[in-house]
Structures are given as structure tokens and as C-alpha cells.
Amino acid sequence: MAADDTNPNPSSGDALNAGVAENLVATAPGIDLPEADFAVPIYQPPGRRAAASFIFLTITLDMLALGMIAPVLPRLIASFMVGNLSGAARMIGYFGTVFAVMNFFFSPVLGSLSDRYGRRPVVLLSNFGLGLDYLLMAWAPALGWLFLGRIISGLTASSVPTGMAYMTDVTPPEKRAGVFGLLGAAFGVGFVLGPAVGGILGSVSPRLPFWVAGGLSLVNGLYGIFVLPESLSQAHRSPFSWKNANPLGSLRLLRNNKILLGLASVLVLGYLAQQSLMNVYVLYCDYRFGWTDRAVGLSLAVVAVFSGLYGAGLVKPLVKRIGERGALTFGLIGGAIGYIMFGLSTTGTLLLLAIPVFNLMSFAWPSAQSIMSREVGPSEQGQMQGAVQSLRGLAGIFGPVMFTLVFSKTYGPTALLKLPGAAFFLAAALLVVSLVLAQVVRPRNAAPAAAA
């Protein structure tokens, strides 16, 4: 076959993609995509398998690092505020809020930068930045330095949307739900391993998890230099604009498309519901079942196992069977039922039985993001993924306050309404609203179910 047949853009000037001879074309024979779909040639960079593994590893390590420092950061903060427990508690809250705020503001910025300069430099710089930042926090001689490190980690951890955009670049539309499910599994792996490893290392020194997290990120960045090719050709890059890169500007991309706006609303309600698990679960299990830290940790490990199992192994076949919209609906229904089961659990055994049902949400998010990726062109994938991650940051700002307040008012002798599971019932209600929205949105480009 002639060179022009394998390279749709031989004069693009993209040095990293110029040698790509085997492009995976999304509109290959046998794949009938709707006309409105942005079906463009999907570049198959040399070493794509290693590159995809690197993106998976990067997101896993990002989540692992965050999880590793979670059990020790409060202790490290408290060590700088000896004897001032109330002040330490307030400061821990500030640390959590500033991280979410930085994610909210900088996820769309990094996403837009990747649309302009390519995915590779943004992903690598985020790896090195996060690694150096954790080393800064490990060294921090004063609380101010530690706080600065937390600000920077919120910025550099915003590399997730760029990783998502990278996988969108190299994956044909009909396979994206499975890929997003795999990346969701990476979140789960980091979520379960991080706190366990951090707890073990923190028993030696509260600073050791920071040193290890920094070292892992730096080693991963060095590995990426050799295995990560560029995925976005020069022809598909777009000018960088602060107007579009700020959170409000990036959300304008969603607002201007009714399908994107509807699915973004589904996602933000789901992200908000997830905050109940992150902020109330430990308190709930302690109050209702008297669980030890070990028991809570093991139950969260079960959550992560099912999340990884569904995301890595079952999203792709389910989407093939019932389509993306069907998988989205199935996941939202399962998640809502799971939250209700959490709230109604009177024994630890009943709560454990609810976990596989709750984790059916793992089918919803990859399906929604896959549909959304079809609604924008290749030059806006970074911006769109950044906007989605910004919504996650927004949920991280408001969710903790909302769910901890609901929990505090519904348990104990002074409860306004004695209903310990109220926070989970609220999460279920949010998913029911998102389910209704998902039915109203009629995507043009969702992958259909396979023919019987």
C-alpha cells in the first residue's frame, strides 16, 4: 500500500507522528458510524500497547499516591500544631478544600494545553511535577511549606483529563467505553492499595509515604520518556485560549451542546453522590456496626475489587450487549439501589452484600464519557475531559460539607431526625435524578447494542 494510503496527513509536520504507518481508522469497513460522529483517523503510535499501559499506570500511581498520603497527612499536619487539636482539624479541612479547588481550576487548563501542545508533554510534566511536589512535602520543615505542596499537588494531579484524552485519541469510538472502564479500574486499584501501603509506611514515619509517592511518580515519568509517543497530530491541535481554559470557559463547551450538558449533569450528580462514600462511610460503619479501622479498610478493599472487576472486565462486553445508553441506565439504577441498601443495612453483613450492587455504577461513568467523547472533535478532547474533571473537583468542594452535615444531624442522641443512613439515601436520590436526566438526553452517537 502506498504511503499516502496509510498516512492521512503526511505533511502535518508532526515529527512524533510522521513515522506512523499503521493508523487505526475509526471508519474502517464494517463499522457504521453516524454522520454526526467525529469519526477521524485514530493514530496508532508505535508502541501503542506500552503507551496505553503507561497511561493506565500513571492514573493508578496518581490515585495510589493520593491514597498513600491520606492516612498520614492529618498526623503530619497535627505534628505542626502541637496541642491545638481544633486548629489542626480546621487546617485538615483547608488542605482538603484547596486540593479540590486546584483540581477545579486547573483540570481544564491542562486539558486545553494538551489540545494545543499535545498530550505527551502535559502527561510527562504532570508526572515530574507531582513527583517533585511529594518530595517537597516530605521535606517540608513548616506547615506553610506543606500547604504549598498540597496546592501544587492539586494542580499536578489534574493530569487525569489529559490521560483520558490520550486514550480517546488512540481508541476508535465504539471501543472507548471499555477503555474508560479500564481507567476507572485504575482508580479502584489506587484507591484500595494506597491507604494500605500508606498506613504501613506511615507506621515507620509519617513522611515516608511522601518520599515513596514522589519516587514512584518520578520513576514513572522517566519510563514515560521512552515509551510514550505523541497521540495528537499537528493537524488536530487547537490554539490555546484562557477564555476556554478557565473553568467557566471550559464549561461553556458543555453548555453549547445539549447532549454534553445533559450528560455532564448526570456525571456531576454522580460525582456528588460518591462524596457520601468518601466522607461518611467510615463514620457510618463505626457508629452503626462498631467496626475497627481494619474492618473498614477491608470493606473498602472489597469496594475497590468490584470496581476493578467491573471496570476492567465487564464494561466492554456489557456495552457490546446492551449499548452505551443501556449500560449508563443499568449503572445508575444499580448505584441508586446500592446506596439505599447501605442506608438500610443494620448489620455489617448486609452492608457487604450491598457492595457488588453499589459498584454497578462502574458501568455508568465510562459509558457517559464515551458518548461525550463522540460529541467533540479531536482538537477539543482535552478541553472536554478537563471540563468533566473540573466537575469532579466541584463535587469535591461541596460534597464533604453537605454529606457530613446531613450525617451529623441524623445520628446520635441530639439528632434532629434519627436516620443514620440519611446521607446514603440522599446519594441515592441524586442518582435517581441523574437517571431521569439520562433518559431525557437522546445522544445521536451512542454505540448501539449488538444485534441479536
Q: What's the pLDDT tens digit per position in 132-184?
A: 888 998 898 988 898 898 888 777 765 677 788 888 888 887 788 888 888 87
Helix and strand numbers (H, E) in the chain are 18, 2
Give the integer Cα–Cα distance in Å for 399 and 382. 25
User: Strand 24-25 relative to strand 41-42: parallel, antiparallel, unpaired?
Assistant: antiparallel
Cβ 192 vs Cβ 380: under 8 Å: no
d(CA 219, CA 164): 21
User: Is the pLDDT confidence value at 447 over 50?
Assistant: yes
C-alpha 371/C-alpha 442 separation (Å) is 11
Q: Are 446 and 372 contacting, i.e. CB atoms less than 8 angstroms apart?
A: no
Residue 452 pLDDT grade (very low, low, confident, very high; cuts 50, 70, 90): very low
The whole-angstrom separation of Cα 51 and Cα 228 is 5
> Is the model's pLDDT at 105 over the cut of 60?
yes
pLDDT of residue 48: 59
Out of 1.20.1250.20, 3.40.50.2300, 2.10.50.10, 3.40.630.30, the CATH code matching 47-228+242-439 is 1.20.1250.20
Res 76: pLDDT: 81
**Measured distance CA(384)–CA(435) in Å, rounded:** 22
- The reported pLDDT for the residue numbered 430 is 96
CA quadruple 63, 64, 67, 73: dihedral, nearest 10: -110
pLDDT of 443 higher than 90:
no
Q: What rounded mean pLDDT belongs to the chain?
A: 78
pLDDT of 77:
81
Residue 158: predicted pLDDT: 58
Q: Which three cell numbers stand for residue 176?
A: 472507548
Contacts of 381 (CB under 8 A, 6+ apart): 115, 165, 168, 169, 373
Domain boundary assignment for the chain? 47-228+242-439
List own/partner pairs for 81-89 with CB under 8 A and 24 or more apart.
81/143
Best CA proximity match to 46, nearest among 21, 11, 14: 21
Taking residues 195-222, report their average pLDDT.
85
Q: Which three cell numbers stand for residue 143?
A: 506547615
Instruction: Inform me whether the pLDDT recorded for 83 exceeds 90.
Output: no
To the nearest 10°, the Cα dihedral for 187, 189, 195, 198?
Answer: -110
Count of beta carbons in the 10 Å neighbourhood of residue 49: 8
Residue 72 has φ and ψ, to the nearest 5°, of -105, -20
Kindly provide the b/e burial profile for residues 280-314, where b requires at least 16 CB atoms within 10 angstroms of the residue's own CB: bbbbbbeebbebeeeebbebbbebbbbbbebbbeb
pLDDT in the model for residue 18 = 36
At residue 10, the pLDDT reads 38
Question: CA distances (Å), 127 to each of 134, 163, 168, 267, in order?
Answer: 11, 11, 20, 26
Which has the minimum average pLDDT: 82-96, 142-156, 205-219?
82-96
- Cα→Cα distances 185→1, 44, 63, 276, 428, Å: 39, 23, 11, 20, 22
The pLDDT score that the predictor gives to residue 371 is: 86
- Rounded to whole angstroms, the Cα distance separating 123 from 158 reads 10
pLDDT digits (tens, 9 = 90+) for 19-47: 333 333 333 333 333 333 443 444 455 55
Q: What is the pTM of this model?
A: 0.74
Interacting residues of 181 by C-beta distance below 8 A, sequence separation 6+: 310, 311, 312, 314, 315, 316, 362, 363, 366
